[in-house]
A and B are shown apart, each in its own frame.
Chain A
């Protein structure tokens, strides 16, 4: 495997085309992007929101394995028996997780097992190596103005067996899929959704789905960035009819904007730069231009900004105009059980640096820093999301105390993380290490997906918030692990929500 990986790296290095052709699917004159339908929920059904982290093939297979478990969990309401997976309403994904998110958006949760088989059987390293050694590829790179990232996009289309465009996902009645990349210059999360592609004057329905996945998974250095042209910067402006008067500008219009909420201010400023608009600050006569002029956008792996996918959720949930606004659902009394399942395929690979005093080369340093950056950004994102849930619950309690019972809902934050596997015995530690060492390249060893499949069930059933959910919603399924002793889900509803089951297990 190491020899093949080395061959791949050498092959990628050979693919040194210096393409400068930006990708562009312009919004034509007179055309407009349909706005994204707002999320709806049935208060009798849990609202399931999932994040799929980065981590290459390991992450894609783990995410699919968790969804497969949700296919096997059922509950009955109003005489109807439903799978919990049919309540997945939002998926926010990064890098390898985006590969499965795309499959999920195209084929639904029932395809999870087939996807897992596809990942197990797929030889991504072999595919890339063959392409790297193919003279036709060299000619394409030299004469068709292509780059290594085009090769990755072709592999993703081969892996997903689709040439679908974004139009195939995010339709009314389907889950909302957010594929997240990173804007290399701004360091901001760039989400392939209707809103953001509209901002850069692109025709959402014409953008290949594989482009969003590729941008999300374009690991820096190994792959060149996805290069987009922002037609908002054409001399005549965006030829299409973008959504005109979005109320994103308020933080930029106020002198107090950076103090009211610095993150919101920065996000609004980034959006202004994508749309190439001016904003007039209240009380001033000046029209303030964008802080940068991104005529071209370079998008790299979403894990550079946040490898968990939680940032996109945290920004969308409280945004009153976002399609995934929770405030809207709560105001209408549509939310009773909010389930957030964060699938994290993070690992801490054994490093030879731990036991070696040898000179640290620039390559080693670059690898170490990029890995540390991804891990620290994700750790920060997870911590901020935890705080967000606490604030959400505090607000809920306040409203319920005011008599607004429609604001009473339960939250089940469920993290799926290899560090939550038992590790008290040598055998347990061995299993934990085995799963953490599963490759992120798109060629797995026999049995790798089976191990991830087993671990997904174990992690889900060990989680105290998942067990509480099983109780509250009366989910039926085969437990795959015992509860962790003396561990409760830390977020209980403040007022009794009518529950149909027995008291939760001790």
Chain B
């Protein structure tokens, strides 16, 4: 078991997951909602995940690969996209 913390400028934004898109400018296709939110660590199995934020939230990057390691907490950061 491992934990992941997705940091963002706003708390409580829904985290989504899906297949890794072909490039950094393509959002996650058919994003699947999780019950996890930003700025609150959550439990996962060790391994790699592709996470993004709620598609209604403008952020950068569009998605990130996050690698969780047993017994550790991995952090990843998204930022609000400048208007």
Contact = CB atoms under 8 A, between A and B. Distances in A.
B49 A320 contact: yes
Given A254-B48, A321-B32, A331 B40 contact: yes
Taking chain B's interface residues, is the majority helix, strand, or loop, or is none over half, making it mixed? strand
A489 interface: no
A251 to B, nearest CB: 6
A121 interface: no
A491 B35 CA distance: 27
B82 to A, nearest CB: 28
Contacts of A328: 34-36
Given A321-B32, A331-B36, A398-B73, A253 B45 contact: no
A399 interface: yes
A392 B70 CA distance: 9
A246 B71 CA distance: 26
Interface string B44-76: 111111100000000000000101001101000
Interface in A373-405: 388, 391-392, 394-395, 398-399, 402, 404
Interface in A218-262: 244-247, 249-251, 253-254, 256-257, 260-261
A264 interface: yes
B11 interface: no
Given A245-B29, A328-B35, A318 B20 contact: no
Most B CB atoms within 10 A — which of A246, A249, A331?
A: A331
27 contacts: A244-B30, A245-B29, A246-B32, A247-B49, A250-B47, A250-B50, A250-B65, A251-B47, A254-B48, A254-B65, A256-B48, A260-B46, A260-B67, A264-B45, A265-B47, A280-B22, A325-B35, A327-B44, A328-B34, A328-B35, A391-B2, A392-B1, A395-B1, A395-B2, A395-B43, A395-B71, A398-B73
Contact of B43 (A247, A249, A318): A318
B33 to A, nearest CB: 10
B41 interface: yes
Contacts of A254: 20, 48, 65
A420 B1 CA distance: 28
A264 B41 contact: no
Given A247-B50, A250-B20, A260-B46, A398 B3 contact: yes
A321 B34 contact: yes
Interface of B: 1-3, 17-20, 22, 29-30, 32, 34-37, 40-50, 65, 67, 70-71, 73
Nearest to A326: B43
A107 interface: no
Nearest to A388: B1
Query: Nearest 6 pairs between A and B by C-beta?
Result: A245-B30, A318-B45, A261-B47, A327-B43, A391-B1, A328-B35
A331 B47 contact: no
Nearest to B43: A327
A332 interface: yes
Most A CB atoms within 10 A — which of B20, B47, B73?
A: B47
A69 B41 CA distance: 37
A319 interface: yes
Contacts of B43: 318, 326-327, 330-331, 392, 395, 407
A411 to B, nearest CB: 12
Given A250-B49, A394-B1, A320 B40 contact: no
A253 B44 CA distance: 19
A320 B46 contact: no
A247 B2 contact: no
A407 B18 CA distance: 25
Contacts of B67: 256, 260
Most B CB atoms within 10 A — which of A319, A392, A399?
A: A399
B13 to A, nearest CB: 13
Nearest to B69: A260
B44 to A, nearest CB: 6
A249 B32 CA distance: 13
Contacts of B46: 260-261, 264
Contacts of A31: none
Contact of B17 (A253, A261, A265, A321): A321
Given A247-B17, A247-B50, A328-B35, A261 B3 contact: no
B1 A253 contact: no
A246 B48 CA distance: 15
Contact of B36 (A282, A320, A398): A320
A401 B42 CA distance: 14
Nearest to A261: B47
Contact of A327 (B36, B50, B73): B36
Nearest to A329: B35
A247 B19 contact: yes
A331 B37 contact: yes
Nearest to B3: A395
A280 to B, nearest CB: 8
